[in-house]
């Protein structure tokens, strides 16, 4: 069915529809938590990068047919990151998401949590609507892996990594650079695409850019 919406009503209608879909995700899943409890050592430049990633993630989520409910945890409104988010993201204070000072580990039952970290031994096989997926809000690649995995381990929370090794291969490049560490908005695009298509190769193609040094197994150069 083609929606015949008058131009003057279309924006209002789409906003209402987006709000309805987001609130539905809050109650029935899928849910995504951005763990922002590790930002206190970040430089201004890193905070700006993270604020930009949050903006892109939220923008993608609003457009998704099946959006996630997003919860920003370990996040205080008097923090430098909050200031940066407000400065960089138009309308940030009215984003449809939860902002919580508490850590994600105290907000949800531990058995429902899955911390997505490149160091996990377990490849993510599916997106479970009853689980809460956690992404670590870090932009420094050198510490990102160790810190997020360690944190999940301390709380005995399940971990998973994106199935990059299962569906992709290293591509020869001049720098001999290969990285499975992605920005939070790239990880989100993969999860969101998978939820829509149930197709990991298609989802990974969406978020693993060529600069990461990986291509799909069946890609013909």
How do residues 93-120 score in pLDDT, each as one tens digit? 888 899 999 999 999 999 999 999 988 9
Domain ranges of the chain: 24-162
- Exposed/middle/buried for 31, CB within 10 Å: 0-12, 13-18, 19+? buried
Q: Rounded mean pLDDT of 151-158?
A: 93
- CATH class label, 24-162: alpha beta
3-state secondary structure of 137: coil
Residue 2 C-beta-side C-alpha neighbours within 13 Å: 2
Beta bridge partners of residue 72, listed in sequence order: 34, 99
**pLDDT value at residue 154:** 93
Q: What is the pTM of this model?
A: 0.86
Q: Cβ neighbours of residue 107 under 8 Å, at least 6 residues apart? A: 33, 71, 73, 100
Q: CB–CB of 29/130 below 8 Å?
A: yes
């Amino acid at each position: 069915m083609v929606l015949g919406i008058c131009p003057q009503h279309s924006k209002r209608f789409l906003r209402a529809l987006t709000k309805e879909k987001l609130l539905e995700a809050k109650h029935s899943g899928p849910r995504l938590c951005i763990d922002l409890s590790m930002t206190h050592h970040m430089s201004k430049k890193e905070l700006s990068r993270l604020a930009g990633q949050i903006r892109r993630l939220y923008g993608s989520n609003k457009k998704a047919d099946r959006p996630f409910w997003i919860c920003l945890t370990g996040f205080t409104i008097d923090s430098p990151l909050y200031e940066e988010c407000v400065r960089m993201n138009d309308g940030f204070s009215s984003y449809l998401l939860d902002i919580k000072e508490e850590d994600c580990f105290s907000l949800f039952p531990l058995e429902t949590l899955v911390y997505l970290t490149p160091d996990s031994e377990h490849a993510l096989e599916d997106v479970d609507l009853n689980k809460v997926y956690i992404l670590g809000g870090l932009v420094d690649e050198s510490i990102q892996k160790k810190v997020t995995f360690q944190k999940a381990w301390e709380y005995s929370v399940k971990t998973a990594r994106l199935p990059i090794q299962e569906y992709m291969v290293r591509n020869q490049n001049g720098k001999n650079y290969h990285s499975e560490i992605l920005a939070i908005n790239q990880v989100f695009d993969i999860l969101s695409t998978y939820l829509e298509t149930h197709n990991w190769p298609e989802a990974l193609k969406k978020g693993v850019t060529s600069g990461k040094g990986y291509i799909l197994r069946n890609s013909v150069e």
